[in-house]
Amino acid sequence: MAARAPRRDGAEDRQPARAGEPLVLQLVPMRRRHLRGVLRIEAQVYPRPWSLSLFMSELALRTTRAYHVARLRGAVVGYSGLMLNGEDAHVTTIAVDPAWHHYGIGTHLMLNMARIARERGARNMTLEVRVSNKAAQALYYRFGFHPAGIRKNYYVETNEDALVMWAKDIDTGSYKRRLAGIESTLDGVALLEGPTS
């Protein structure tokens, strides 16, 4: 999740109307109709955003991919992607609209991916993160990820190295309890359970 100042082109309209107003987050499988919102966020948070065609090709790989969007009041405010390969699950992307940082949306997306990985038989999760992105690394540490190496100049647009992180044994009862513990700390945004659209 890249940190940038919120945009002033209507981003205020996406904020809560008044203090204490309950926010209800809905996580749904990413569909083509969500891609306009996804691409808007992608362009805000990444120096080299994914294209529409790349997202479309990822969505076509239904058996080995799991992409979801986070919606508030019908608007896409975040998204995540997971690639599944045997016992390993790879986080391909995760981003939250900068206007909605610090509401726990990234945590909800990570919880969702970890649970999907477990359901689909993964024993480990991995990801790459910019070495300078300490906020994202802090989130990943909460989920049991630990550094496993460096990929030099992985982010070619900025010549920045990637920190490779792994979370092992996600199929265990102790990891399930870790997820439940993380979920119990979330407040401010409630997750809507029920039908997806």
H-helix or E-strand spanning residue 179: helix 173-184
Q: Which residue of the set 79, 140, 155, 175 is catalytic?
A: 140
Check: CB of residue 140 under 8 Å from CB of residue 107. no
Catalytic residue among 67, 79, 128, 155: 128
Which stretches does DSSP call E strand in the chain? 23-29, 65-72, 75-85, 88-96, 124-130, 146-155, 160-167, 189-191
Sequence-distant contacts of 168-172: CB under 8 A, at least 24 apart: 168/123, 168/124, 168/144, 169/123, 169/124, 170/89, 170/114, 170/117, 170/118, 170/122, 170/123, 170/124, 170/125, 170/144, 171/118, 171/121, 171/122, 171/123
Is 140 designated active site?
Answer: yes
* Contact of 22 with 186, CB cutoff 8 Å: no
Give catalytic status of residue 128 as yes or no: yes
Residues with catalytic annotation? Answer: 128, 140
